[in-house]
Structure 1
Amino acid sequence: MAALTNVERASGTARFARARNRILVVAAAVLATALIWVIGEPLLGHDLVVASPGQPAMDLGLAEIAFVALASSLLGWAALAILERITTRAVAIWTIAALVVLTVSFLPFAGVKTSSGSKVVLALTHVAVAAVLIPGLLRTSARRTPSQSIN
């Protein structure tokens, strides 16, 4: 087996560090969402039970909230990684797309039946994922230039 060159070794180390940092960002987004659920449902007493027209009522527990946060965070990571491979404008495109997805994620609130307090808690979970995920993943972007640095 041939020895790795310094460039190959550095490239592998950078990829590992980026992946590790992105895993931490995803974990932080899920934890932020879980924290909002814990404050909103058990502590403040807002039952996150939603009913959509023609559907049975659904109780959104911690597992459901965490799963959606994890799935959306991983999809965001995948989208950024794909864009980084195909365009030099990955950061700009991904940021705009992430903000559009956040905005669209509020549309279902208009059609579900639940208390106003529960809607606020659910909206805050959406904001929490975006507030952690967007700046967190942007900080890890391989295509970021020094002028795009987020301090």
Structure 2
Amino acid sequence: MTITTNKPRTRVEGKSRLAVVGATSAAALVAWAILGPLAGIDLQAEQGSSTIDITWVSVFVSATLMGFAGWGLLALLERRTVNARKIWTVIAACACIMSLGSPLVAGIGIGAKLGLASLHLVVGAIVITGLHRTALSPCERRN
């Protein structure tokens, strides 16, 4: 006679990390469209001695790269540590918080500062919650 226990799984089945990256990019573009073209906020930042406009291309590329960077770090931690999910979540949250310094310092005008900071928070929130849900628990990695 075998006894099986139905231990609740902490990983959400069917969640694809690639889908998280795609959702991150799409949400960042939607947020940019709402803030820039629809709300009329000039999303500009100082870079050195010049001013740059934050375009949909830069938003898409940045959000996509951050999604893949988070995925890569999570995959690396899953191979190297037992508590990969917890460690990754702390690192990702700290990175998101630290990233707010850039728009708050370099943004030109209060609207741009708040708009760019909100873009950072949108990307961070989706990457952190999405990839956290795809992380393997220690028990799942042993199987």
Q: Post-superposition shift, 1:125? A: 0.9
Letter in 2 for 1:45: G
- Per the normalisation by structure 1, the TM-score is 0.78
Instruction: Give the total of aligned pairs.
Output: 128
SS in 2 for 1:142: coil
Identity %: 32
| Aligned counterparts of 1:145 and 1:116: Cα–Cα separation in 2 | 47
SS in 2 for 1:23: helix
SS in 2 for 1:51: strand
| Structure 1 segment 1-151 matched on structure 2, within 5 A | 21-52=16-47, 54-143=48-137
Q: Post-superposition shift, 1:142? A: 1.8
The CA RMSD measured in Å over matched residues stands at 1.9
Unaligned runs of 5+ in 1: 1-16, 147-151
SS in 1 for 2:88: helix
- Which portions of structure 1, spanning 4 or more consecutive aligned residues, are displaced by more than 6 angstroms? none
Which digits, 9 at most, give the CA deviation of each residue in 1:41-64, with x for residues without a partner?
Answer: 000111111114x32111110000
| Aligned counterparts of 1:98 and 1:37: Cα–Cα separation in 2 | 22
Unaligned runs of 5+ in 2: 1-12
